[in-house]
Structure 1
Amino acid sequence: MDDPHDDSSPTVTEPGAPRVPPSAEPPEAAVVESPEALREAVTAKSQEVGRLQDRLLRLQAEFENYKKRMAREKAEYLKFAHEGIVLEFLPVLDNLERAIASARAEAGSTPLLEGVEMTARLFRSVLEKAGVKPMEVAGQPFDPGYHQAVEQVESSHGGESVVVGEVQKGYLINGRVLRPAMVRVSRAAPPVAGNGRDDGDPQA
């Protein structure tokens, strides 16, 4: 005989009722942060944004400096890019000037000499447009950065180590030495030796 209070009988579910798993737990309540915690989080984010902005500004400044440096280097390169070619042509101008000096000494002015002088003037004009100018060395103190001494000349005037003559012209290109000038440099004359007689001694 069945016990009417026996709990082992199966549970009957009504049709249409939702099935709830026996292990289901109630959902956790949403975590609500305190106003103080929110303020701290906002402050931390603001500081991070500030650091990123500072870094961005530094990178922008570095990039601008890089562009300026590259522009200067490019301009510097263009100023001296033709230096090697110009240097090769200087001996040609040297020969023209020597020929002019020799012709003037021998025969004076002739149509041929005038033609050579015109060629030399044209040559100098082209060099000047390229930023090339001859050095002015006469009477200047000797400077190994600009001058190459090929001879020393005794001189009692103008001091020692002064340029007193030019053997080969020196040239500058945009203010920088293209070719040093070959020069003669003064040196002090040795003292004049006495006659070896003491003026206080009586003459024989």
Structure 2
Amino acid sequence: MKKPKPRADKGIDSDSADESRVDQEPDEIGESTHLDSLRHDLEVKTEESRTSQDKYLRLAAEFENYKRRAQRDQADAIKFANEKLIKDLLPTLDNLERAIQSAEEQKAIGPLLEGVALTYKQLLESLTKIGLQQVSSLGEAFDPAKHQAVAQVESDSAPPNTVVEEYQKGYFLHDRIVRPAMVTVAKQSTEHETDIHSE
């Protein structure tokens, strides 16, 4: 008679499986925590990298602006280096011009006048070569940026606020005003104002 085979103890197998699961769960939790930590570190480093890149771009832009300003300032310094010389020479230019006008008015055309006129012309040409330009005035609208009004006169022939006389020429050095022109400006005549009001 055969003896029955001993049955496996199910209780023991169940306990072993539970122990296996218990052993595995801490490992899985540890791996998950480690991944979370790595993910957090990656986010931090990404943000730091983005911040550093923004700072770099700002610094690069500021440097470019500084370089452009420095180049512009240097160019202006070279361009207007003769400004003081120009200002010192303008009275001489004025005196020569007045001498020519006075001689012409007195009909004293002669060698002296011709010499003065030639000197004036040569001086003006030399100054023009380094950037001097005369301010245009007569017949133009008054512009306080380049005109200095010393008087106003009533005029029926010129629109109000128009330059009708120039006492002293004004000058530019390149695009910068060195001296404004001294001018007389037209204003509306009293008779014209009366006619307008009477209508």
Same fold by TM-score, threshold 0.5 exceeded? Answer: yes
* Cα distance, 1:108 vs structure 2: 5.0
CA offsets 1:71-91 (integer angstroms, 9 cap, x no match): 112222333333222112111
Q: Deviations over 1:74-123 (max 9, x none)?
A: 22233333322211211100000111122223345423222222211121
Give 5+ residue unaligned stretches, structure 1. 1-30, 193-204
After TM superposition, the structure 1 = structure 2 runs for residues 26-175 of structure 1, keeping only pairs within 5 Å, are: 34-107=34-107, 109-175=109-175
Structure 2 CA distance for partners of 1:39 and 1:154, relative to 1, 3 Å: closer
> Matched residues in 1 for 2:151 and 2:62: separation?
52
Indicate the residue corresponding to 1:189 in structure 2.
189
Larger Rg: 1
After superposition, what is the alpha-carbon deviation per residue over 1:152-192, rounded to whole angstroms, capped at 9, x for unaligned?
33321112222111111111122222111111222333329
Structure number with higher helix proportion? 2
Structure 2, unmatched stretches of 5+, are: 1-29, 193-199
Residue 53 of structure 1, CA deviation: 2.4
Runs (4+) of structure 1 exceeding 6 A deviation are none
Secondary structure (helix, strand or coil) at the match of 1:191 reads: helix
The TM-score, its normalising length taken from structure 2, stands at 0.70
The TM-score normalised by the length of structure 1 is 0.69
Q: CA deviation at 1:141?
A: 1.9
Cα distance between partner residues in 2 of 1:161 and 1:55: 54
Partners of 1:150 and 1:44 lie apart in 2 by 71
Cα distance in 2 for partners of 1:68, 1:167 equals 41
In 1, the alpha carbon distance for the partners of 2:160 and 2:35 equals: 88
Query: Aligned-pair RMSD on alpha carbons?
Result: 2.4
Q: State percent identity of aligned pairs.
A: 44
Q: CA deviation at 1:39?
A: 3.8
